[in-house]
Amino acid sequence: MQVNLVDALMGSGKTTAMINHINGADEGIKFLYITPYLNEVERVIASCPTKKFKQPQVIGTKTRGIKHLFERGENIATTHALFGYFDQEIIDIASASNYVLVMDEVADVITPLKISKHDLKTILTEHTEIVDGHILRWTTENYTGEFTKHKNMCDLGCVGIYNDKAVLWLFPVSVFKGFSEVYLMTYMFSGQMQKYYFDYYGVECRNLYVKGSCVQTYCLTDEKIDYQYPKLDSLIHILDNKKLNQIGDAKESLSAAWYERNKDNVLLGLLRANVSNFFKNYAKTKSNMNIWTTFKEHEDALKGAGYAKGFLPLNTRASNEYRDRTAVAYLVNKFMNPFVKNFFTVNGITVNESAFAVSEMIQFIWRSAIRDGKEIYLYCPSSRMRELLQNWIENVSEV
C-alpha cells in the first residue's frame, strides 16, 4: 500500500488543491473524504457539486448508514469520528468499489485501552495469543460474553500489547488497504503519530506538493515545490517575561503529569492569574480575540474572565473558525504517551518526541490569525515548548 502525502503548512492550499483534483477525476472513481469538522464536510459538498457527496445518516445504526452509501456507490464526506465505525464488511465493500480515501489531517490511530488488570489477565490467559510480536489474536471460538468488544477488536488485528500489561488500540490497517488510493493532507507528518503507525505496518508515502497561486489554479503535483513561508519571527510575538514564564522553567513543567501532581495546590491558580495578565496587559485583546488550551480535565481550573469562552481542545486541527483571533495561550508541555512511545520503540520504530511536540503545538497555533499572515501574540510558559517553537521558526525562516 502507498499513501500520497501532501505535507505543507496550514493555509498553503492543500484542501483547495484536493477539491480541484476530485472535481477533475473520472466518474468511475469514488471518494471517501474524511475531515475533522462538520463545517469542512459541508465545504467539500458545496465545492464539488457534480460529485454529489453525501453524509452518512443513521439507519438503525451509524455503521448501517455508512454501509448504505458504500453499497450505492455514493461519494461520501464525513468526519474522523465516523471513520471509527468501520468494520470488515465496510472495508470489503469499499475495496470492491474502487474508492479513494482522502484524509484531511491525521487520524487518532493508536490509543491506550482502559482495562482492569484482572480482565486483562483473563483475556491473556484464556482467550488470546500474541502473534507478530505484539498483536493479540482471539483464540476462543464461538465466543459470546463480557469481552465481545475486545474480541471484535482482536479479530480486526488492532489490539497491541506492550510488556504484557499495557494494551493499545491500533486503527485497523486493513481499512487503509481497502482503498485503491489514499491521500493524506497534513503538516510536519514526520513528527506525528500516524507516521510511526505507518512505519510499524511498513506503509510507504509518496510526496505530493501544492502548485498554483489561487483557488482556481491550486493543484497537486509530484514535482518538488520549495514552499515560501512568511517571516514568522516578525509575526509571532512570543511573550518573553521572566515572571509569567517562571512557572514553566523546569523541563517537565506543564506536562500532563505536572498538572495531575499540582491540581490541588496554588500553582494552577498562579497559572490562571498569569493567563489573565497576558490577555489583559500584554496582548491587550478583547475576549472575542482570544484562544487558549490546556488538558481538557484542567480547563475549569484555568478559565477566567476575559478569555474563558476562547478555550479550544488541545488537538484542534483543520478549523478556520478562529482565524480572526490574535492572542493565543498555549498552556501545555506536550509529550507522547509513554506506553505508546515504548510500543513503537520496542518494535524498532524511531520516535522523535520533540518533532511530535512542536507539530502538535503548531497545529493549534495555526487556528489563529497567523493562518492569514497576520500578527499574533503568544503566551507559552513551558520553556521546552517555547524553545522548540523558536527553533522551528528559525528553520522555516531560513527556507
> Does residue 4 sit in helix, strand or coil?
strand
Q: What is the pLDDT of residue 1?
A: 73
Q: Give the contacts of 180 (CB within 8 A, at least 6 positions apart).
A: 29, 98, 99, 100
Share of the chain above pLDDT 90, in %: 64
pLDDT at 62: 77
CA 178 to chain centre: 21
Q: How confident is the model at residue 398 (pLDDT cuts 50, 70, 90)?
A: low
Is residue 131's pLDDT more than 60?
yes
- What is the largest distance, in Å, between two alpha-carbon atoms of the chain? 66
Average pLDDT over residues 12-30: 94
| Summary mean pLDDT of the chain | 91
Amino acid in the structure at residue 230: P
Of residues 167 and 252, which shows the higher confidence score?
Answer: 252
- Counting residues of the chain whose pLDDT is more than 70, the rounded percentage is 99
Domain ranges of the chain: 2-106+175-221, 111-170, 232-397
Report the C-alpha gap between 393 and 84 in whole angstroms: 35
Residues 6+ apart with CB under 8 A from 163: 342
CA distance 81 to 251: 34
Q: Which pLDDT belongs to residue 33?
A: 95
pLDDT in tens, 194-217: 999 999 999 999 999 999 988 889
pLDDT in tens, 284-334: 999 999 999 999 999 999 999 999 999 999 887 767 788 999 999 999 999
Q: What is the pLDDT of residue 318?
A: 61
Q: Which stretch of 93-107, 157-171, 261-275 has the lowest confidence by average pLDDT?
A: 157-171
pLDDT digits over 55-67, tens only?
998 888 778 888 9
**Res 208: pLDDT:** 96
For the 2-106+175-221 domain, the top CATH level (class) is: alpha beta
The residue length of the chain stands at 399
Nearest-angstrom CA–CA distance, 65 and 285: 45
Residue (of 271, 362, 375, 392) closest to 325 by Cα position? 375
> In angstroms, rounded to a whole number, what is the distance separating the alpha carbons of residues 101 and 30?
9
Least confident of 255-264, 313-322, 325-334, 366-375: 313-322
pLDDT the model gives residue 34: 93
The answer to whether residue 279 scores a pLDDT higher than 60 is: yes
